[in-house]
Amino acid sequence: MTVNESSGGIFKSLIASRITYVLAIIIALLAFLYFTRGLSIILTILIQVTIFSIITMSLNLESGYSGIPQFGRVAAVIAGAFAVGAIPGRIMAAFMGLPAGAEYASDTVNFRLVPEINTLLANSWLMSLGFLAMCLVIAALSGALIGWLISRPAIRLKEGYLGISMLAIGDFLMWVGHNWSIIVGGSVPVNVPDPFRMFGTNRFTVIVVVFFVIAVLIFVYLNKLTQSPFGRNLRMLRDNDLSAVAAGLDIVKVRTQCLVIGAAIAAIGGGLYVIYTGSVAAIGLTRLTFTFWPWAYMMLGGIGSNIGVFLGVILLTILRTMIIIFRSTWFGFLMAVGIDPLWLEFTLLGAVIIIVILFLPHGLVPEKIAPMLPSKRIKKVLADRQVVSG
């Protein structure tokens, strides 16, 4: 066994042990919450995990694998949320002979139209399934379009300049939606037709299952993508763009493809979010929720590691939920010194993130270092060269 194979085996065992420890902690915390708060809180955590794991994995593709400073993740989420809030409902309204133009987003009209659409969806599982599929496709297409638009400055800008421009694009879209009422109601949220209405009291449970399946499919797709030649191109671009250019890599094309794919996936997450909540409020789609938290999840789980990101989302969501639920009970004594426990959410989570950065700078599950070619292929190439040279 060579030194490289030995170190690779040690690295794999280290990652496996970390995954085991993290899973054990997650299971223990979920069990504690289940026995103290019941099944409903577990389902609430799972629905947040599915949505934010999709968004964070898309961020990991763009920033973790390709090194793009994506500080405008919220832009693609907004694109998906706006598209699902504005387009599928209008299509259904037009199909039913109801107002489907600019008046659809008016609060005086929308609150009457959506219940009628929901009644139609509740009576047909096939139409509900078609409506859900339409929402996902429209969200992905809108996200891909935003990703392509964002890729234009990404061609010329680097590092901080690119990050600030992406941050500005996200805020721009949010304020456009908040002030232009034709899109999603402006300052008054617009309701979104519910493709899960037919399940009645089991709606929440079905949403968790369906969203979790979608998240797993996206996880599998991104794993396949990042292990493909395209994924190796992304890592080459991230690690040394000069070497990538020297190797003949088209940086503009690779960055554009990466941003389009990542934005399409993030937009699906945004679309699922508004389907779950049942409405779109532009002012609620902030960079704190859909840019900062995905970055926190990614840093905690492991930049460049899809399994790490998935576990990071689960663990941090559980910790955040526990802090919100028990902060008054566990930290009520701080009121005696003038500290309100209601403000401890960001303080304690910030402390968790800082501790992880200090002691686990590569996250809970670091990126797996893999050779460009399988070990068997490398051995065969070396053997062939020895035969030729001999």
Q: How confident is the model at residue 3 (pLDDT cuts 50, 70, 90)?
A: very low
- Residue 72 clears pLDDT 70, i.e. is over it: yes
- Residue 375 clears pLDDT 70, i.e. is over it: no
- Residue 382 clears pLDDT 80, i.e. is over it: no
More confident residue, 136 or 109: 136
The domain spanning residue 281 has which CATH number?
1.10.3470
Which of 100, 198, 94, 81 shows the shortest CA–CA distance to 140? Answer: 81
More confident residue, 202 or 360: 202
The number of residues making up the chain comes to 390
Q: Residue 262's pLDDT is what? A: 94
Q: List Cα–Cα distances, 376 to 143, 224, 380, in angstroms.
A: 40, 20, 6
- Residue 373 clears pLDDT 70, i.e. is over it: no
- Residue 250 clears pLDDT 90, i.e. is over it: no
Question: Looking at this protein, which amino acid is placed at residue 192?
Answer: V
* pTM (predicted TM-score): 0.88
Residue environment code for 101-132, b if the CB has 16+ CB neighbours within 10 A, otherwise e: eeebbbeebbeebbeebbebbbeeeebbeebb
CA 181 to chain CA centroid, Å, is 27
- Residue 328 clears pLDDT 50, i.e. is over it: yes
The answer to which of 123-127, 273-277, 365-369 has the lowest mean pLDDT is: 365-369
Parent domain of 92: 3-389
- Residue 71 clears pLDDT 70, i.e. is over it: yes
Q: How confident is the model at residue 158 (pLDDT cuts 50, 70, 90)?
A: low
Number of alpha helices (DSSP H) and beta strands (DSSP E) in the chain: 17, 2
User: Average pLDDT over the chain, rounded to whole?
Assistant: 86
Q: Are the CB atoms for 263 and 170 separated by under 8 Å?
A: no
More confident residue, 265 or 244: 265
- Residue 338 clears pLDDT 70, i.e. is over it: yes
What are the percentages of helix, strand and coil residues in the chain, rounded to 5?
80, 0, 15
Report the pLDDT averaged over residues 181-194.
Answer: 89
The total number of structural domains that make up the chain: 1
Q: Are the CB atoms for 267 and 79 separated by under 8 Å?
A: yes
Question: pLDDT for 267-313, tens place per residue?
Answer: 999 999 999 999 999 998 988 889 999 999 998 888 888 898 999 99
